[in-house]
A = this chain, B = another copy of it.
Amino acid sequence: MKALGRHILAEIYDCDPFVLNDRDLIEDILVKAALEAGAEVREVAFHKFSPQGVSGVVVISESHLTVHTWPELGYAAVDVFTCGDKVNPWDACNYIAEKFQAKHMTASEVKRGVFEKPVKVVNF
């Protein structure tokens, strides 16, 4: 069976709360994480919540990175979803955890788009 993509779901705890509340810094970290892993950035959308917290996404050619932060809990939910063999999603995930100054992280990898048999290709 062949999977189209690898998707890491990371729970990142005990981060620096000031980093987790800085929209511009988080955008910079996520974009650099994508680039560090060798991904190609296509679209970026980030949002700062009141009174605190940041949500954002980086759409890459290989799929996406997302982040949601709870500065008051020192917690961030991070996803790194990559397709193909060129990019290792763990490189991006570990980069983000390091820049968030996380004390610990639990993460799991899920295979996405698993096909048991060859599929018909539609021409456009």
Contact = CB atoms under 8 A, between A and B. Distances in A.
A77 B113 contact: yes
Contacts of A38: none
Number of copies: 2
Interface in A6-55: 7, 9, 11, 17, 21, 42-47, 49, 51-52, 55
A47 B63 CA distance: 10
B42 A47 contact: yes
A70 interface: yes
Contact of A57 (B7, B66, B73, B74): B66
Contacts of A57: 43, 45, 57, 59, 64, 66
Contacts of A70: 4, 113
